[in-house]
Amino acid sequence: MDITVEQKEGRVPVTVFHIKGNIDVNSYEQLQAQARLAYETGARNLLLDLAEVPYVSSAGIRAINSIFNLLRTSAPSESDEAVRKGLSDGTFKSPHLKLLSPAPQVFEVLTIAGVDMFLEIHRDLATAMASF
């Protein structure tokens, strides 16, 4: 799996990971490490471009989950109470981590695991950038 990192400027700086290859048990640690590195060099908003990812396994879901936790802040809108309510009525979505252009089979895996219940999934880059 390869990750190309791109810095973009929207309303806020957004780090885009263009990922190529499967996100599975062999590559999920690499993704997590890359995200951690980005975070430690100041990235606070991350967009995962999944256009060239043919397959995501449960290990990949775990990586996405851990990146979500990494970027979660202590802002009131992200507090436990807000998240609980937001999850319940479907209004909570992470403001810091978003997904872009998953292939149909990857989208299916994401929805089964419920990742779409707390992460926005966008179909094009412009909309994704504007959402941050």
Partner 1 sequence: MNEQIISRVPLFTSLPANEIKHLAETLHSAEVPPETILFREGEYGDRFYIVREGQIEIIKALGTPDERLIGVRGPGEHVGEMSLFNRDGLRTASARTQATTQVLVMTRADFDALLNRQPTLAYEMVRVLSMRLHQAHNTTIRDLREKNRQLTEAYESLKAAQAQIIEKEKLEHELHVAREVQASLLPRATPQLPGWEFVARWQPAREVSGDFYDFIPLPVAPPAFDSAPNWGLVIADVSDKGMPAALFMALTRSIVRASVTGARSPADCITQANRLVCADTAQGMFVTLFYAQLDPATGDLTYVNAGHNPPWLYRAEDDQWTELTRTGMALGMFEVQALKQNTLRLNAGDFLFMYTDGLTDVTNRQGQRFETEQLRSVVHASRRASAAEMVAGLEEAVSRFSGGHTPFDDITFVVAKRI
Q: Is 113 in the site for partner 1 (CB under 8 A)?
A: yes
Structure token pair of residue 91: 């209004």
Binders of partner 1 in range 70-99 (CB under 8 A): 80-81, 83-84, 87-88
Residue of 12, 112, 126, 130 that binds partner 1 (CB under 8 A): 112
Residue of 59, 78, 93, 107 that binds partner 1 (CB under 8 A): 59
Is residue 49 within 8 A of residue 100, CB to CB? The reply is: yes
From residue 13 to residue 32, the character string flagging contacts with partner 1 as x (rule: CB under 8 A) and all else as - is ------------x-------
Q: Is 9 in the site for partner 1 (CB under 8 A)?
A: no
Q: Is 103 in the site for partner 1 (CB under 8 A)?
A: no
> What type of residue sits at position 4?
T
- For the chain, the maximum distance between any two Cα atoms, rounded to a whole number of angstroms, is 37
For the bound state, the minimum distance from the C-beta of residue 68 to partner 1, rounded and expressed in Å, comes to 9
Q: Which is nearer to partner 1, 10 or 39 (CB)?
A: 39
Per-residue three-class SS string for the chain:
CEEEEEEEECCCEEEEEEEECCECCCCHHHHHHHHHHHHHCCCCCEEEEEEECCCECHHHHHHHHHHHHHHCCCCHHHCHHHHHHHHHCCCCCCCCEEEECCCHHHHHHHHHHCHHHCCEEECCHHHHHHHC
Residue of 7, 58, 73, 77 that binds partner 1 (CB under 8 A): 58
- Give the binding site for partner 1 (CB under 8 A): 25, 58-59, 61-63, 65-66, 69, 80-81, 83-84, 87-88, 111-115, 117-118
